[in-house]
Copies of this chain bind each other. A is one copy, B any other.
């Protein structure tokens, strides 16, 4: 079986059919059509859906995924090298997220461990603020989110 119907893609990816339609409308995936106007997906759609799911899990918006996918060829299945290039980018993204989560976990532990209820000094409660001198709160995470 070379091409997948929506139902098959949905079952295999764990993504609802309505979501597949939605992703297609948003330009994250694409499909060929049968003479009878039914969608047929190349197998690489499953990889795209996997990436989409990963992204969702780490809080990266679909629009950022779309931008990343825009670096892949539109009308032909990406080569291994093309996927690898994109994947390297994502791996960095994931590494960053993991590092930040670890940092937060550490800070939370420390914060509770040391009993520092004087929150003005707590790095977790108050990341990057340094007692209000800097003015407008932490944006590092958002920069990661937009990543461009």
Q: Please, how many residues of chain A have a CB less than 8 angstroms from a CB on the other chain?
A: 58
Contact check, A11 vs B137: say whether CB atoms are below 8 A apart.
yes
A83 within 8 A of B: yes
Contact check, B94 vs A47: say whether CB atoms are below 8 A apart.
no
Q: Which residue of B lies closest to A98 (CB)?
A: B101
Contact check, B58 vs A122: say whether CB atoms are below 8 A apart.
no
Complex CA–CA separation, A14 to B10 (angstroms): 40
Chain A, interface SS category:
helix
A35-63 interface code vs B (CB 8 A; 1 in, 0 out)? 00000000110110111001001110000
Closest Cβ–Cβ distance, residue A117 to chain B (whole Å): 7
Closest Cβ–Cβ distance, residue A140 to chain B (whole Å): 10
Once A14-B138, A112-B84 are accepted as A-B contacts, the answer to whether A46 and B100 lie under 8 Å apart by CB is no
Residues of B within 8 A of A127 (CB): 14
Contact check, B105 vs A91: say whether CB atoms are below 8 A apart.
yes
Closest Cβ–Cβ distance, residue A91 to chain B (whole Å): 6
Contact check, B132 vs A47: say whether CB atoms are below 8 A apart.
no
